[in-house]
Structure 1
Amino acid sequence: MAEYRGPNIRGRQLGERLLQRMSEKNWGVREMSRKLDMSAQWVSAVTRGLTRPEPVRMARFLTTLGFDGAEYRELMGLADEIRKPGLLESYPGGWQVQTLAWHEERAAEIAAFQGLILPGLLQTADYARSLMVETGNAPSPDGIDERVFARMARQLVLTRRPRIEFQFFIHEFALRLPVGRQDRSVMRGQLAHLLRVSAQPNVSIRVVPARIGGHPAVSGHFKLIESTEFEPVVYIEHEISSLFLEAPDEIAVYRQVVAKLGDVALDAARSEAFIAGLAE
Structure 2
Amino acid sequence: MGDRESTVRMRELGLALRRALERAGLESKAVARELGWSPSKVSHVLRATRGVSERDVASILAMARIRGDERERLLELARRAHEPGWLQEFGGRLPPNLRTLIDHEDAAVAINSYQGLLVPGLLQVASYTRALMSTSATIPPDEIEERVDARIKRQEILDRRRPAIFRFFVDEYVLTRTGPGPEIMSEQLHHLLRMSVRPRIQFRVIPDAVGFHAAVVSSFVLMEFTEINPVLHLEPENTSVYPEGRKTIAGYQDILASLDTVALNPGQSREWIARLAHKLGAP
Shorter-chain TM band: 0.7 to 0.9
| CA distances 1:102-123 after superposition (whole Å, capped 9, x unpaired) | 1111111111100001100110
Q: 2:218 is matched by which residue type in structure 1?
A: G
Residue in 2 aligned with 1:78?
A: 80
Q: 1:153 to 1:116 in 2, by over 3 A?
A: same
Give unmatched runs, 5+ long, in structure 2. none
Three-state SS of the structure 2 residue aligned to 1:214 is coil
For residues 224 and 21 of structure 2, the distance between their equivalents in structure 1, rounded to whole angstroms, comes to: 28
If the length of structure 1 is used for normalisation, what is the TM-score? 0.77
Provide the identity percentage: 36
| CA distances 1:133-187 after superposition (whole Å, capped 9, x unpaired) | 023343344x222222221121122232323111110111111222323xx3111
Q: 1:214 is matched by which residue type in structure 2?
A: F
What's the offset of the Cα at 1:270?
Answer: 2.2
Give unmatched runs, 5+ long, in structure 1. none
Residue in 2 aligned with 1:102?
A: 103
Residue in 1 aligned with 2:112?
A: 111
Matched, 1:275 2:273: yes
Residue in 2 aligned with 1:155?
A: 155
Paired residues of 1:127 and 1:179 also in contact (CA < 8 A): no
Question: After the TM superposition, which residues 1-280 of structure 1 pair with which residues of structure 2 at under 5 Å, given as runs?
Answer: 7-15=6-14, 39=36, 46=45, 49-53=48-52, 75=77, 78-79=80-81, 81=82, 84=84, 86-92=85-91, 93-95=93-95, 96-141=97-142, 143-181=143-181, 184-279=182-277, 280=279
For residues 77 and 102 of structure 2, the distance between their equivalents in structure 1, rounded to whole angstroms, comes to: 19
Three-state SS of the structure 2 residue aligned to 1:260 is helix
Paired residues of 1:172 and 1:207 also in contact (CA < 8 A): yes
**Cα RMSD for the two superposed structures:** 3.7
If the length of structure 2 is used for normalisation, what is the TM-score? 0.76
Q: 2:158 is matched by which residue type in structure 1?
A: L
Three-state SS of the structure 2 residue aligned to 1:262 is helix
Q: 1:71 to 1:91 in 2, by over 3 A?
A: farther
What's the offset of the Cα at 1:5?
Answer: 7.5
Paired residues of 2:223 and 2:231 also in contact (CA < 8 A): yes
For residues 269 and 60 of structure 1, the distance between their equivalents in structure 2, rounded to whole angstroms, comes to: 51
Paired residues of 1:104 and 1:225 also in contact (CA < 8 A): yes
